[in-house]
Structure 1
Amino acid sequence: MKQGTIYGVGLGPGCQDLMSVRSDRLIRGASHVAYFRKKGRSGHARSIVEGLLGAEAIELPMEYPVTTEIPVADPRYNALLAAFYESNVARLSEIADAGQDVVVLCEGDPFFYGSFMHLYTRLRERRVPVSVVPGITGMSAAWTATGQPVTWGDDIMTVLMATLPEAMLTERIAQTDALVVMKIGRNLDKVRRALARTGREDEAWLIEYAAMPKERVLPFREVGDSVPYFSILLIHGNGRRP
């Protein structure tokens, strides 16, 4: 029997009309659809494809055992997630071995800071056929929402996770031309201090819910004491132009 294929399908930043034609085709024709979600939640990836799944599609929710309950540095964090990925790879492999394809829904692009890559490497080790469909990243939608190009000429763009140590954030922000900071959430104060130390507060913008119905763009100086999960900080480059 021919093995089925596991498809990591990029959904883009959050609205159906920014998905690729290939993603749309695979999702509508899928017999099995897997997606990540937090316990007790429907899952953002699943909500993006509402109305697209076939009536007979079998849904395979993959519920994270931990998100923010314990620190990332805690050894238990990696152990719990490793076991979680291994168990889901076993489940997906069993379906593929039975000759069935599975579409795994991936917010943004599957290879850009997404959970799917942890499945991908393990599936490849098992020699299970895997195919990846790229998607528009959230940061692309964010800088488009500002109405300004993010890089010019020879600008260097840096993408940072706000979870990094403050000293590293400060150093990288000072060195780059254009900047994207993701995973701000509980790290808002740290990011604010790093921007202040580099003197770049007035250059920064915050984009909430890029390409979604609640999209909002505002100067970072006007940000309050908290930001939504779907928030990205941007600094535009100002490099060489004709």
Structure 2
Amino acid sequence: MTGKLYGLGIGPGDPELLTLKALRLLQAVPVVAYPAPEEGDSLARAIVASHLPGGQTEIEIRMPMVAARFPAQEVYDWAAGEIGGHLEADRDVAVLCEGDPFFYGSFMYLFGRVAERFPVEVVPGVSSLTACAAVLGAPLAARNDVLTVIPATLERHELAQLLRDAEAAAIIKVGRHLQKVRKVLDLLGLLDRARYVERATMGEQRILPLDSLEEAGAPYFSMILVHRRGEAWT
């Protein structure tokens, strides 16, 4: 017998957007693991803090928040070892995943290291994609629209190629790539149809048309939604 690993999608930031299933498992498992920056508090833990029953073993998965594969990959190796030890001892473990575990979520890297040895269950969560559309009051797509999810980390010509033919697009991982994205959208005549959302559903949430954003960069938790018709229902 071994324990079971749960990848819990905990939503985009509002503690009330936790699903009933995720809440039940969160309060039942003896071990909770969550990502955290190298220094400071974990946002994932903060989201569920009011729901924690107390008395659980907690594993902080601290890593540099950078795009490079190392040393983050070494951290995943370490975390898989720590979690594996509890699973071998027949203790269930819940890993907290901001948004949805399998929508660009870092949980996939733990899943790849653990799933062949132990049972794993993924509990989907409210993704940042749907959360941004909800707080904007702007449907993502309609009828036969194709929704394209585009990482802002792509090269400028790749962004332009994808956006040129996109009917509806969600641009993620904006961060320091904000100006590059803005220039591409402007060249394609889409700047006035782009909306910017920052920290959707959180206390510091900010929403505004992209062409009125003055900052040169954006925080990690930001997204740009674009619809070629301006509104999906038109």
Decide: shared fold, TM above 0.5. Answer: yes
The change in CA–CA distance for 1:186 and 1:111 in structure 2 (over 3 A counts) is same
Distance 1:25 1:189 in 2: 42
Compute the displacement of 1:35 (Å): 0.3
CA deviation after TM superposition for structure 1 residue 4, in Å: 0.1
Gaps of 5+ in 1: none
Separation of aligned partners in 1, 2:202 and 2:147: 24
Say yes or no: does 1:122 pair with 2:122. no
Once the 2 structures are TM-superposed, how far is the Cα of residue 237 of structure 1 from its aligned partner? 5.5
> 1:211 is matched by which residue type in structure 2?
T
Amino acid corresponding to residue 53 of structure 2 in structure 1:
G
Counterpart of 1:85 in structure 2 is 76
Write the letter of the residue equivalent to 1:95. Answer: H
The one-letter code matched in structure 2 to 1:138 is S
Map 1:204-215 to 2 at 5 A.
Answer: 204-215=194-205
Deviation at 1:142, TM superposition (A): 0.4
| Matched residue, 2:104 | 113
Over aligned residues, Cα RMSD in angstroms? Answer: 1.7
Structure-1 separation of matches of 2:233 and 2:16: 32
In structure 2, do the counterparts of structure 1 residues 59 and 241 end up closer, same or farther at CA, with 3 Å as the change threshold?
closer
Q: Does 1:198 align with 2:188?
A: yes
Moved over 3 A (4+): 237-242
Tell me which of 114, 135, 140 is aligned to 1:145: 135
Listed as ranges, the gaps of 5+ residues in structure 2 are: none
TM-score when normalising by structure 2 = 0.94
Letter of the 1:129 partner, please give it: P
Note if contact 1:154-1:240 (Cα within 8 Å) is conserved in structure 2.
Answer: no
Partner SS, residue 78 of structure 1: coil
Cα displacement string for residues 165-193 of structure 1 (whole angstroms, at most 9, x for unaligned residues): 11101111111111101111111111111
Conserved 8 A contact 1:36-1:45: yes
Percent identity reads: 35
Give 2:152's aligned residue. Answer: 162
Letter of the 2:25 counterpart: L
Give the aligned partner of residue 29 of structure 2: 30
TM-score (norm 1): 0.91
- Cα drift, residue 228 of structure 1: 2.6
Corresponding residue for 2:213?
223
Secondary structure of residue in 1 paired with 2:87: helix
